[in-house]
Amino acid sequence: MARRKPAKVHGTLLVDKPAGMTSHDVVGLLRRRLNERRIGHAGTLDPDATGLLVVGVGQATRLLRFATASTKTYETDIVFGVETSTLDAAGEITATHDMAAVTDDQVRAAAATFLGDIEQIPPMVSAIKIDGKRLHELAREGIEVERAPRPVTIHRFDVMSLDGDQLVYRAVVESSAGTYVRTLGADLGAALGGGAHIRNLRRTASGVFAVDEAQAGGIDDAPLLPVLEMVRGLSQITVDGEEAVRIGHGASVAVERALGDGPWAIVDTEGTLLAVHERVDGALKVGVVLAPAAG
């Protein structure tokens, strides 16, 4: 088997994904634009969802896990009184409820009960694999399987009635990676004695990245930022001389320089990212080593 050619293009892109396009579609367009196969993204967005997609090119793909693990912020509308097969507006209506008597105070109080560490059952339309097959593939075949609940953390869940309509609320959700906002909306509806689905889902932030930073011109105009941008949320340790050379060849930074819990982005005096080090089970470990030309 022929070995894959090394990547020639390296960097970070911030894309404001439009509706009607999958995250994989975005990657495909960028592969053609940059003539580079080695491209990936941090955190999948549903086709109907819009907003921030953090994309890594070349060596930056090795750093995507640091961006994926960060908190995410979303805005969405929660439509009370109507349940759908996909938990969002794209699905078929499966149940309706009279929730006209629900008040603002009740909605806010119910939303507050979801703050902190909770468990969610992944929706059947998610990309999780069970027995080698993705849930959304099974759902298209009309198959529903039992899913184990997964722990997530909800840091913020603000709700506000839209234009005086007590059945539709605008929600802002800040949560840990892996949170299903559509499930959160449906569970809020159930907590209020009825049901709900979401619409107009938009990711506004991913860790230290904000959708306002994405190029307004779209995917074709999104600038290629340095590889270092992918880990700009990490603490930095600057090294020089022989230490920089050793780290570029896989050595660890001096333990006394690694303050806190990490991870740490190790850069040289010119701002080139050399490596990312982590603390694993209390010990300092070399997580990723990049060639000096990566930055």
Pairing of strands 82-84, 93-96: antiparallel
Residue 153: partners with Cβ closer than 8 Å, 6 or more residues away: 116, 117, 118, 175, 176, 179
Residue 12: partners with Cβ closer than 8 Å, 6 or more residues away: 54, 55, 56, 57, 60, 224, 225, 226, 227, 229, 230
The residue annotated as part of the active site, out of 16, 25, 46, 105, is 46
Residue 136 DSSP SS3? helix
Contact assessment for residue 204 and residue 76, using Cβ atoms and an 8 Å cutoff = no
Active site (annotated) includes residue 158: no
Identity of residue 57: V
Residue 126: alpha-carbon gap to chain centroid: 14
Nearest-5° Cα angle at 40, 16 to 223: 45
Token pair, residue 71, equals: 């908190």
Cβ burial, residue 199 (10 Å; 0-12/13-18/19+): middle
Token pair, residue 197, equals: 């689905």
Contact assessment for residue 156 and residue 174, using Cβ atoms and an 8 Å cutoff = yes
Residue 71 DSSP SS3? coil
Positions marked active-site? 46
